[in-house]
A and B are shown apart, each in its own frame.
Chain A
């Protein structure tokens, strides 16, 4: 069921803001409240607004199930890969190899309150991004599936 033009335009306008805000929450997960799950859920909410405003047939062209599936699995593989990085370097699974190393996300942080530096926390931002991608894909695809299931005409009882 397609909603009125006003709602549709509003949803289209809102979507990029939801996307940016969600990505902000994902990226700053190690500095401010939030993280991969919360940010991914915000982005998926943006997608949900679009899905509600438009009809399923329109949305199926805009947001493809196959893309979302790939995105979800890719997020998970990135997550498990970031965790398995430590195995290759001789540490235990899930050891935070990049923290305090000086390389990517590797600035050290002294104890106490500070203003926050994005380039810290080692593999945590990478995992945040991975989980963000996964939750974004996962929640969107659940919505799409439920909608497609309701729309499909079934013969029989």
Chain B
């Protein structure tokens, strides 16, 4: 039952994914106005030569904060896993 559900989901996902190369053309994007804006004005607005950095830290800086937070969260989570447990914490349910 559970296995069947997983396989069904897998088939749906695979079918969806297979449609991507048939429908999306590589190298000729349909719209590019947002990125043209970055390439045209990014250098003057942020004074950074590297437009990728300008996007990462200026135009989409908030995403980068989120991404650093993800790393921080993972570190805290890993630390939590390997903490020294107290004796009275070691119980088992049922």
Contact = CB atoms under 8 A, between A and B. Distances in A.
Interface string B40-61: 1001111111101110111001
B58 A131 contact: no
- How extensive is the interface on chain B, given as a class? 20 to 34
Interface string A77-117: 00110010000000001101001100001111111101010
Contacts of B49: 30-31, 109, 114, 116, 120
Contacts, number: 114
Output the residue of B47, B48, B75 with the most chain A CB within 10 A.
B47
Nearest to B58: A96
Interface string A103-137: 00111111110101000111110011001001100
A145 interface: yes
Specify the main secondary structure of chain B where it touches its partner.
helix
Interface string B64-89: 11011101101100110110000000
Interface residues of A, number: 48
B62 interface: yes
